[in-house]
Chain A
Amino acid sequence: MERVEVQRSGGIWRYAAPAAFYPLAGKLAPWFFALAIVLTVVGLYIGFFVAPTDFQQGESYRIIFIHVPAAWMSMFLYLIMAFWCGVGLVFNTRLSFMMASALAPTGALMTFIALWTGSFWGRPTWGTWWEWDARMTSELILLFLYIGFMSLHAAIDEVRRADRAAALLALVGVINVPIIYYSVKWWNTLHQGASVSVTAGSKMAPLMLQGMLIMSLAAWMYCIAVALMRVRAIIVEREAGAAWLNEAVA
Chain B
Amino acid sequence: MTATAFWTLLKRDLLLALRRRADVLTTFFFFVIVVSLFPLGVGPESDLLRSIAPGVIWVAALLASMLGLNRLFASDFADGTLEQMLLTPAPLGVLVLAKVLAHWLVAELPLVMVAPLLGLQLDISTEVVKVMWVTLLLGTPTLSLLGAIGAALTLGVRGGGPLLSLLVLPLCVPVLIFGAGAASAVAAGQDVQAHLSLLTGFLLCALVLAPVGAAAALRIALD
Give chain A's interface residues, CB within 8 Å of chain B.
Answer: 141, 144-145, 147-148, 151-152, 155-156, 160-161, 164-165, 168-169, 172-173, 175-176, 179-180, 183-184, 186-187, 190
A144-B166, A187-B177 known; 16 other A-B pairs, CB under 8 Å? Answer: A141-B170, A147-B166, A148-B170, A152-B153, A152-B163, A155-B154, A155-B163, A161-B220, A161-B223, A165-B217, A165-B221, A168-B213, A172-B213, A183-B173, A183-B178, A186-B177
Chain B hits for A145, CB < 8 A: 170
Give chain B's interface residues, CB within 8 Å of chain A.
Answer: 149, 153-154, 157-160, 163, 166-167, 169-171, 173-174, 177-178, 181, 185, 190, 198, 202, 209, 213, 216-217, 220-221, 223
Chain B hits for A168, CB < 8 A: 149, 153, 213, 216-217, 220
Cross-chain contact B163 with A144 (CB below 8 angstroms): no
Asked whether A164 and B220 contact (CB < 8 A) given A148-B167, A152-B154, A190-B185, the answer is: yes
Chain A hits for B170, CB < 8 A: 141, 144-145, 148, 173, 176, 180
* B182, chain A: closest CB distance, angstroms: 10
Interface residues of B, dominant DSSP: helix
- Tally of A-B residue pairs with Cβ under 8 A? 73
Residue in B157, B159, B166, B174 whose CB lies within 8 Å of A180 = B174
Bound CA span A22–B202, Å: 43
Cross-chain contact B181 with A165 (CB below 8 angstroms): no
Bound CA span A162–B220, Å: 9
* B71, chain A: closest CB distance, angstroms: 18
Bound CA span A164–B177, Å: 30
Chain B hits for A151, CB < 8 A: 163, 166-167
Bound CA span A151–B167, Å: 9
Chain A hits for B167, CB < 8 A: 148, 151-152, 169
Bound CA span A148–B157, Å: 14
Cross-chain contact A161 with B221 (CB below 8 angstroms): yes
Bound CA span A184–B190, Å: 18
Bound CA span A99–B157, Å: 23
Cross-chain contact B173 with A141 (CB below 8 angstroms): yes
Bound CA span A165–B169, Å: 17
Cross-chain contact B153 with A165 (CB below 8 angstroms): yes
Cross-chain contact B174 with A179 (CB below 8 angstroms): yes
Bound CA span A212–B223, Å: 47
Cross-chain contact B149 with A172 (CB below 8 angstroms): yes
Chain A hits for B171, CB < 8 A: 172-173, 176, 180
Chain A hits for B153, CB < 8 A: 152, 165, 168-169
Asked whether A184 and B221 contact (CB < 8 A) given A148-B166, A155-B158, A190-B181, the answer is: no
Bound CA span A145–B173, Å: 12
* A131, chain B: closest CB distance, angstroms: 17
